[in-house]
A and B are shown apart, each in its own frame.
Chain A
Amino acid sequence: MNLAFAPSEAHSELLRQNLRAELLRFTTAGSVDDGKSTLIGRLLHDSKSVYEDQLASVKKSRINRSSGPIDFSLLTDGLRAEREQGITIDVAYRYFATARRKFIIADTPGHEQYTRNMATGASTADLAIILIDASKGLLPQTHRHAYIASLLGIPNLLAAVNKMDLVDFSEARFLELEQAFGELAAQLGTANVQAIPISALDGDNVVDRSERTQWYGGPTLLEHLETVPIRRVVTTGALRFPIQYVIRPDANFRGFAGQIAAGTLRPGDEVMALPSKQSTRVKAIIGHDGDLAEAYPPMSVTVTLEDEIDLSRGDMLVNPSKSPEISTRLEAMLVWMHAQPLQLSQRFLLKHTGKTVRAQALRIVHRVNVSNLQKEPARQLQMNDIAAVELQTTAPLFFDAYESNRITGSFILIDPISNATVAAGMIRRPVAENATYGSPVTLAEREMRNGHRPAVILVNDAKLAKMVERNLFDDGFQVLALEAEAVSRDHLPKLIGMTTEAGVVTILSGVTADAKKLLVKHTEDSSSFFDLSSINSTDDNEVLQRVASLARSLRNLGDANDI
């Protein structure tokens, strides 16, 4: 498809390198004063990516917040308001290149609206640089940044341990921070982690190897960026070809245009169309400069098919033996991006691949506290909140889990009144749709909504029962503490039967020995009956710990896709 040029000229090697270069997209995250702008300015400057006139304009600027002759952060602060206030307002994109790779940096501010902005920058990134101030160590923001990077599916983390000059380039300090960050990354499930000791201000280990870290044998920051394997999140081997546009120049040609999201496409391949489920074969992959023998991600192509089938924008061509999930109900992680909070009654437009459907949030499964990564219950979501949410759409979506495909697993929510983009969504799984209008609500549906099975837990005293109740409630459980004395012995099994049928975890205290016998006799499912009243410890913690592990088993509804 390319012009057949012969590389004969003296400069062809330079050109060849540039034509061959790969693309790495990365994002940067740091707190205010971590030196993020300085690092990017330094990276651009030392890799000789800053134009002389731009550098001259920085040198003559009225503002210099650094101690050296050049305030590198000025190279990246774009807007007037930012230069005046010394802050970064929004995601900014920077570009630089070396002989091996071209780089796109999504530079996101570390303070206000950090979640919204960082999620935006992270959505297309292959790597995240997370800045750590060597003199301060890991901060709550570090957890936040690493979590958002993992949530958005970034496979590579680079911990830039900055301001090493402030800790006298101490190896011990670096190793301590490297280990702490490694543990955090492991907890988040990010496989590829590299920590590098740097000083952005002085340039140590950014582009050039530092004399002051003789003990460090790893790559400089730029070396790592140039060599880290580019792994994109496409583990779905099967074909996913969302139809973006139908090209019909005349009655004889009907081409289906789109960008390949997963798998490969070749002439003769059997493909299935969704939602019609009609199968046919690929006739040709049409190119402007001749037909192609093969297409794969992220190519934008046009295909023709052997048979006339029903196919238009928003539909998808897939591998017939490995279909994506097809559902009108799904659970997704949402990043809420709008000042108006999410309300469960609200209606949205949901845009997923080339398809826009109406949608409603059915329930907030839990909200994630990004400072300690704990799950908490929530009734609404505020700007920058991250939560697992169950959504109902008016037409089925064809999707994969976000962790296996970033394109078929992602969507945005749009407010149909203001037209604002209010949320970004990463699909976790389809949710069963066995509830039909007018039919009784089943226990299975309650379990699906609650996210756990019901149970009965016996404990010694009422005070402990209330503590257990509080812990489980805060963890998002439907829970009720009951004192057995309040009910007559014979009514107790019936009452417990009702709370169990309602899907509730019941914490029962003050049960006499014979009431217990009666209860056991009436309990149909012994796997949801837990007697902790025999624990005679003076320390309540033992009971609370047992309950915590019990609670985890109750959450297991047959799919282990929790965070």
Chain B
Amino acid sequence: MASFSEVVLNGAPAPNVAEAAPTYGERRLSHLRTLEAESIYILREAVAEFAHPVMLYSIGKDSSVMLRLAQKAFYPGKIPFPLLHIDTSYKFPEMIEFRDRYTREIGAELIVHQNREALAQGANPFALGTQKCCGLLKTKSLLDGLAEGGFDAAFGGARRDEEKSRAKERIYSFRDAAGQWDPKTQRPELWNIFNSRIDKGESIRVFPLSNWTELDVWLYILLENIPIVPLYFAQERDVVVRGGSIVVIYSKDQLLPGEKTQRMKIRMRSLGCVPCTGAIRSDADTVPKIIEEMIQFRRSERENRAIDHDEEGSMELKKREGYF
């Protein structure tokens, strides 16, 4: 039987491309290997210094890269911490399927957390607006999930190039007992020396991919042949165009009054919740084509994420409340 990685890549075969830099002969690392070494160092440092680390696993491409780095960091041992997925219940079905199969294949421990109370009361982005919906199903759920597990450090796949307020984030981001970020009292962070001292109830969010860009993530996925959710690859899918964004439709229940589905060749640039994550029109059905497309096409990946655009500085506000 074919391994899971092959199954995923068979859907969108990655053509063969050599890593051209003869890194060992010249004793100089390419920027990707330099970033890899830095991320592995960060992962090991946090595992060495915290009692109960956990990795926030969002199933997206950045999480896939972070998982591969964790496998490398502790090889031949297993990943020495559990993965925590905050499931809003609005994720793409392909994401959940990928999550369950891939984490099983690599032998990782998976914890899934949901804000059942809010879901029972019918929380959804249409009734509440994205800010409030995210607050309940993501931020609150995340804080509860971390508290329940007694985790003192949580790895996240956030990158500084994603959004302006992320650019000011430390690699070790200190959070108070309520999980909040205060941009004005961040600890200075010099060299590769991280301050892991916290009091009871406080925690550190650790970002091993801080210095990676979206392009770096894709190049590394290519270089390392890392499995990713098939939604990243262009394919004909049923969609509606809603308020300027392309929304993937899985069942008629998703349609708003007056909407009709159409077939379109699209792919996702970043993965979030079905109602709030727009797709892009694209023919890129392999990793090299995605990279090619990205080098040419100059729009930020979070552009299609409704949560960042509710008001100016909305990511900053969410981070202050405890969002990643």
- The residues of A with any CB-CB pair to B shorter than 8 Å are 2-9, 11-12, 14-16, 18-23, 48, 50-54, 77-80, 83, 89-95, 97, 101-102, 104, 116-117, 119-120, 123-124, 244-245, 247-249, 253, 255, 257-259, 264, 286-288, 292-294, 296, 298-300, 302, 313, 337, 349, 351-352, 354, 406-407, 410-412, 414, 416, 419-421, 424
Contacts and interface: CB of A to CB of B under 8 A. Distances in A.
A244 B44 contact: yes
A62 to B, nearest CB: 9
Most B Cβ at <10 Å: residue of A3, A21, A89:
A3
A6 B14 CA distance: 12
B18 A16 contact: yes
15 contacts: A9-B17, A11-B289, A12-B17, A15-B219, A15-B288, A51-B298, A78-B316, A97-B215, A245-B44, A245-B47, A257-B44, A351-B195, A407-B191, A412-B195, A419-B195
B19 A19 contact: yes
Given A8-B16, A11-B288, A286-B76, A90 B186 contact: yes
B96 interface: no
B262 interface: no
A419 B197 contact: yes
Given A5-B15, A51-B300, A11 B41 contact: no
Most B Cβ at <10 Å: residue of A50, A51, A410:
A51
A249 B77 CA distance: 5
Closest 7 CB pairs of A and B: A5-B16, A23-B31, A249-B77, A78-B164, A300-B40, A419-B197, A123-B190
Given A52-B298, A407-B192, A94 B41 contact: no
Interface string B231-257: 000000000000000000000000000
Contacts of A255: 76
A453 to B, nearest CB: 35
B211 interface: yes
Nearest to B47: A245
A124 B191 contact: yes
B188 A15 contact: no
Contacts of A407: 191-192
B197 A349 contact: yes
A94 B72 CA distance: 27
Interface string B293-319: 001001110010000000011001000
Contact of B219 (A3, A19, A77, A288): A19
B188 A116 contact: yes
B17 A424 contact: no
Contact of B168 (A79, A104, A264, A298): A79
B215 A259 contact: no
Nearest to A247: B77
B105 to A, nearest CB: 16
Interface residues of B, number: 76
Most B Cβ at <10 Å: residue of A14, A18, A296, A411:
A18
A7 B18 contact: yes
Contacts of A11: 288-289, 292
B30 A21 contact: yes
B28 to A, nearest CB: 7
Nearest to A2: B19
B313 A298 contact: no
Interface string B268-306: 000000000000000000001101100100111001000
B40 A94 contact: no
Contact of A249 (B76, B189, B300): B76
B41 A123 contact: no
B168 A92 contact: yes
Contacts of B87: none
A78 B167 contact: yes
Contacts of A245: 44-45, 47-48
B38 interface: yes
B128 interface: no
Nearest to A420: B187
Contacts of B188: 116-117, 119-120, 337, 421, 424
Contacts of B36: 300
A170 to B, nearest CB: 36
Contacts of B103: none
A252 to B, nearest CB: 10
B321 interface: no
Interface string B38-56: 1011001101100000000
B126 interface: no
Given A83-B313, A352-B193, 8 more contacts: A8-B15, A11-B292, A19-B30, A21-B31, A78-B164, A78-B168, A102-B31, A117-B188
B34 A7 contact: no
B78 A90 contact: no
A94 B167 contact: yes
Given A95-B160, A411-B193, A419-B198, A298 B29 contact: yes
A16 B323 CA distance: 37
A97 to B, nearest CB: 7
A264 to B, nearest CB: 7
A19 B316 contact: no
B298 A23 contact: no
B72 A354 contact: no
A123 B193 CA distance: 10
Contact of A93 (B38, B77, B167, B222): B167
A85 to B, nearest CB: 13
B119 interface: no
Nearest to A294: B24
A457 B197 CA distance: 52
A215 B38 CA distance: 43
B223 A19 contact: yes
Contacts of A414: 195, 197
A175 B34 CA distance: 38
Interface in B190-223: 190-193, 195, 197-199, 210-211, 213, 215-216, 219, 222-223
Contacts of B30: 19-23
A351 B316 contact: no
A247 B76 contact: yes
B177 interface: no
B21 A19 contact: yes
Given A23-B34, A253-B76, A259 B168 contact: no
Contacts of A5: 15-19
B35 interface: yes
Nearest to B27: A296
Contacts of A48: 298
A79 B193 contact: no
Nearest to A422: B188
B191 A123 contact: yes
B90 to A, nearest CB: 24
A74 B71 CA distance: 39
B32 A19 contact: yes
A416 B195 CA distance: 11
B198 A52 contact: no
B74 interface: yes
Given A93-B210, A97-B215, A300 B73 contact: yes
B261 interface: no
A3 B16 contact: yes
B95 to A, nearest CB: 25
Contacts of B7: none
B193 A78 contact: no
Contacts of B72: 287-288
